[in-house]
Structure 1
Amino acid sequence: MNILVIGGGGREHAIAWKLSKDPKVSKIYVSPGNGGTALEEKCENIDITSIDELIIFAKKNNIEYTVVGPEEPLTKGIVDRFRENNLKIFGPSEKGALLEGSKAYAKEFMKKYKVRTAHYETFTSLEKAMDYLKSCEYPVVIKADGLAQGKGVVICKTKEEGETTLLDFMEKDIFNGGGKTVVIEEFLQGVEASILSVTDGDIIIPFISAKDHKQIFNGNNGPNTGGMGVVAPNPYVTEEVLKDFTENIMNPTLKGINEEGLDFIGVIFFGIMITEKGVYLLEYNVRMGDPETQGVITLMESSFNDLIESALSKNLKNFTIEWSNKYSCCVMMVSKGYPLKYEKNKEISIKDSYKGKMFISGAQLIGNNLMTSGGRVLSMVTTSETLDKAIIECYKDIENISFQGSYYRTDIGKI
């Protein structure tokens, strides 16, 4: 089997790595890939980005199916285009991708299908949004409606912070149109959890849970990032929490997908908040998370290829995902200055061998050297019989990796 994976981050490296473990898979093309996928067994990077050229490539190279990693091509309708050309592709239609592509659409969807979520209001007028802030209880959450690379959600502790955020989103347009519409919602106090899942449109199978650490600094301080690390399973996701999630979030979501005709075969990522009043949905993503994928997929014992094939053939009802009875810890190493302006072109040094698995996010292979090219550069993932041991071993491993200006949080899984 030849498979095409679209994307160039740590998530795509992890997907390609996991697919390569299946003996039925002979070749994985990654577009555009990175320095990690360049070195991975059975993998080859291809420098193609346009949907038209990817369709031609898939036809010429007998691609069995395509996996879409990032959200942007999904919101641009890549799935619809591939299907029009009779090519199998794992991901939601353009209409289904609106669940992530528009926060306003997603909140209306939740409201319509009684998916438990925070109270909210949507605004396209800066003046009306500013006026609404006068009546809010603080903290309050402001979300950019469109795609913002994981940085479009701000928890505002005061009205002044809210006003600054609205100006950034709606007037300064820091997300190039993604913040022209905003959602302002009540702040929920509790513990966040990430639950990836796969659906064929008939059923949803949730993965094991994960706990993401978004802020750049220890103690969950500083600005949000794309994610600084993950532990899995999330220790706060109990059987009671899963039952609540299934009844009040997952099942109503499936009903909505069907009734809206979203044509959804792919991944649904549920970002949830566990509160004293129950489990609430914060947001949908329509692709695998990063770095949640790295932390979760290393615990999957089933063939990821078999899982995707079952979804594409609408046969998930006969598939059971087997999971390792272990825990994982994933720590992200980033460039100096991230998540703002960051340094690039620093050589990555690997001192000694390590037990875990390193996934590359933002680095390219130049000659025989890995050189940094992004803000989030790499993640180290270890698995062990206990969470504490996984955390200890992960930090022991990541000490063997360095580059000029490298930084990582030292409290992943401890807070």
Structure 2
Amino acid sequence: MKVLIVGSGGREHALAWKLGQSPKVSEIFIAPGNGGTRLEGTNVPIKDDDLPGLVKFAKENKIDLVVAGPELPLVLGIKEALSKEGIPCFGPGAYAANLEGSKAFSKMVMRDSGVPTAPFQVFDEFERAKSFVESKGAPIVIKADGLAAGKGVVVASTVEEAIETLESMMIKKEFGSAGERVVVEEALKGEEASFLAFCSGEDYALLPSAQDHKAVGEGDTGPNTGGMGAYSPAPILPREKYEETAELVIKPVLKLLADRGEPFVGILYAGLMYTPDGPSVLEYNVRFGDPECQPLLMRLDSDIAEIMLACVENRISEVEVKLKPETTICVVMAAGGYPGPYEKGMEITGFDEAEQVEGVKVFQAGTTYKDGKTLTNGGRVLGVTALGSDLAAAQVRAYEAVSKLSFKDAYFRRDIGNKGLKK
């Protein structure tokens, strides 16, 4: 079968690499792709928000399955647009995609389905939001309602910082229309975990736990990014707790959406915070995380094309999701300055040497290929991912591979996985 992957990040490189291992898949296209995805299939110069262009390409090239990597095309309704042409899409419809597309919608779904989450209020007027923050005090969490490329969440440690954040979102429009409405919620303390499931209506098949590292600096300091690294499994969410956790945070949401006539198909991702009272959902995503996708797919020992087909054909209960027993870790190498301004167009070297380290795969994210060279083309540039017998072994391999790769002003955290090692 022919597959079209939509997106251009490290997640999409990992998806193309994994789908390429399936005997069911004859050809892979990636729109728009990056310097790494060209090694797994054919890059197509169509942006992820160009739904008419994507549908036209899928129709003309007789695509059998479209896999939406990022959230934007899902929120815009790519599933519905493809459905009109009879083309299956692995990913939810626009209504269900609002679990990620609208923080307010997501919190209301959590409330209505009984999922544990922090107390919250929704505001579309700055003065009312400001008064609420002043009455509640800090620390407090401010979230832009709409999509903000993983950067629309601020944990304000003072009331002044919270008000500045509200001003930047609601008045200065730092995130455009995404920040016109905000969610203000209680700040939870604890350790985070990511918990993902392949979903088909009310049925699901669980992936192992993972832990993302959102902050740019070591020791989880500095501003949030799209993610500076991840590992799987996360000791905070052990295997024996998977089913119990799914009953708490996956099953109720799938049931509520199905009851509303909007069954969820695709990946449901619960971002969890482990508080003294147990797990609480910080957010839902409607696609694979990036960088969690990279270590999770390194551990997946089943045919991912078969799993995705089973989801769109409503038979996920028939398919076994097998996993490798090893631990995986992904270290993101970013451009200097990220998540602020950064330079592009710097040559990257050392791919062959890095991938000669046992158990290592280098997934490309913000890269492009020009005149025989791979160049930086984004903030998060590479996801250096390693398998190991345990977390310590995987960490050693990942950082050994990182040391072989080079580009000007490359930046990476040196403590990815340390929280897991402490356990």
TM-score (normalizing by structure 1): 0.97
Whether the 8 Å CA contact 1:244–1:278 is kept in 2: the answer is no
Whether the 8 Å CA contact 1:7–1:69 is kept in 2: the answer is yes
Q: CA deviation at 1:85?
A: 1.2
Q: Could you say which residue in structure 2 is the equivalent of 1:363?
A: 367
Q: Could you say which residue in structure 1 is the equivalent of 2:403?
A: 399
Structure 1 residues 232-381: aligned runs within 5 Å: 232-239=232-239, 241-350=241-350, 352=353, 353-355=356-358, 356-381=360-385
- 2:385 alignment partner AA: V
Q: CA deviation at 1:202?
A: 2.7
- 1:348 alignment partner AA: I
Q: Could you say which residue in structure 2 is the equivalent of 1:25?
A: 25
Whether the 8 Å CA contact 1:3–1:27 is kept in 2: the answer is yes
- 1:211 alignment partner AA: Q
Q: Secondary structure at the match of 1:112?
A: helix
Q: Could you say which residue in structure 2 is the equivalent of 1:157?
A: 157
Whether the 8 Å CA contact 2:206–2:321 is kept in 1: the answer is no
Q: Which portions of structure 1, spanning 4 or more consecutive aligned residues, are displaced by more than 4 angstroms? A: none
Q: CA deviation at 1:24?
A: 2.0
Partners in 2 of 1:163 and 1:45 — Cα distance? Answer: 44
Check 1:129–1:240 CA distance in 2 against 1; reply closer, same or farther (3 A cut). farther
Q: Does 1:384 align with 2:388?
A: yes
- 2:400 alignment partner AA: K
Q: CA deviation at 1:136?
A: 1.2
Q: Secondary structure at the match of 2:418?
A: coil
Q: CA deviation at 1:239?
A: 4.7
Q: Secondary structure at the match of 2:96?
A: coil
Percent identical pairs in the alignment equals 40
Q: Could you say which residue in structure 1 is the equivalent of 2:412?
A: 408
Deviates more, 1:212-221 or 1:134-143: 134-143
Partners in 2 of 1:24 and 1:89 — Cα distance? Answer: 16
- 1:48 alignment partner AA: I
Q: Secondary structure at the match of 2:87?
A: coil
Partners in 2 of 1:60 and 1:246 — Cα distance? Answer: 40
Partners in 1 of 2:303 and 2:88 — Cα distance? Answer: 18
Gapped runs of 5+ residues in structure 1? none
Partners in 1 of 2:169 and 2:262 — Cα distance? Answer: 29
Deviates more, 1:402-411 or 1:43-52: 43-52
Q: Could you say which residue in structure 2 is the equivalent of 1:44?
A: 42
RMSD of aligned C-alpha atoms? 1.2
Deviates more, 1:54-63 or 1:372-381: 54-63
**How many residues in Structure 1 have an aligned counterpart in Structure 2?**
413
- 1:309 alignment partner AA: L
Partners in 2 of 1:182 and 1:51 — Cα distance? Answer: 27
- 1:73 alignment partner AA: P
Check 1:405–1:58 CA distance in 2 against 1; reply closer, same or farther (3 A cut). same
Whether the 8 Å CA contact 2:326–2:389 is kept in 1: the answer is yes
Q: Does 1:124 align with 2:124?
A: yes
Structure 1 residues 201-216: aligned runs within 5 Å: 201-216=201-216
Deviations 1:88-119 (A, max 9, x none): 11111111111110000111111111111110
Q: CA deviation at 1:54?
A: 1.7
Q: Could you say which residue in structure 1 is the equivalent of 2:75?
A: 75
Structure 1 residues 3-152: aligned runs within 5 Å: 3-40=3-40, 43-49=41-47, 50-152=50-152
Whether the 8 Å CA contact 2:334–2:380 is kept in 1: the answer is yes
Deviates more, 1:11-20 or 1:201-210: 201-210
TM-score (normalizing by structure 2): 0.96
Q: Secondary structure at the match of 1:63?
A: coil
Check 1:233–1:239 CA distance in 2 against 1; reply closer, same or farther (3 A cut). closer
Gapped runs of 5+ residues in structure 2? none
Partners in 1 of 2:345 and 2:245 — Cα distance? Answer: 43
Q: CA deviation at 1:198?
A: 1.1
Q: CA deviation at 1:240?
A: 6.0
- 2:33 alignment partner AA: G
Q: Secondary structure at the match of 1:75?
A: helix
- 1:300 alignment partner AA: L
Deviates more, 1:4-13 or 1:260-269: 260-269
- 1:379 alignment partner AA: G
Q: Could you say which residue in structure 1 is the equivalent of 2:184?
A: 184
Q: CA deviation at 1:336?
A: 1.0
Partners in 1 of 2:22 and 2:135 — Cα distance? Answer: 56
Partners in 2 of 1:386 and 1:252 — Cα distance? Answer: 33
Q: CA deviation at 1:65?
A: 0.6
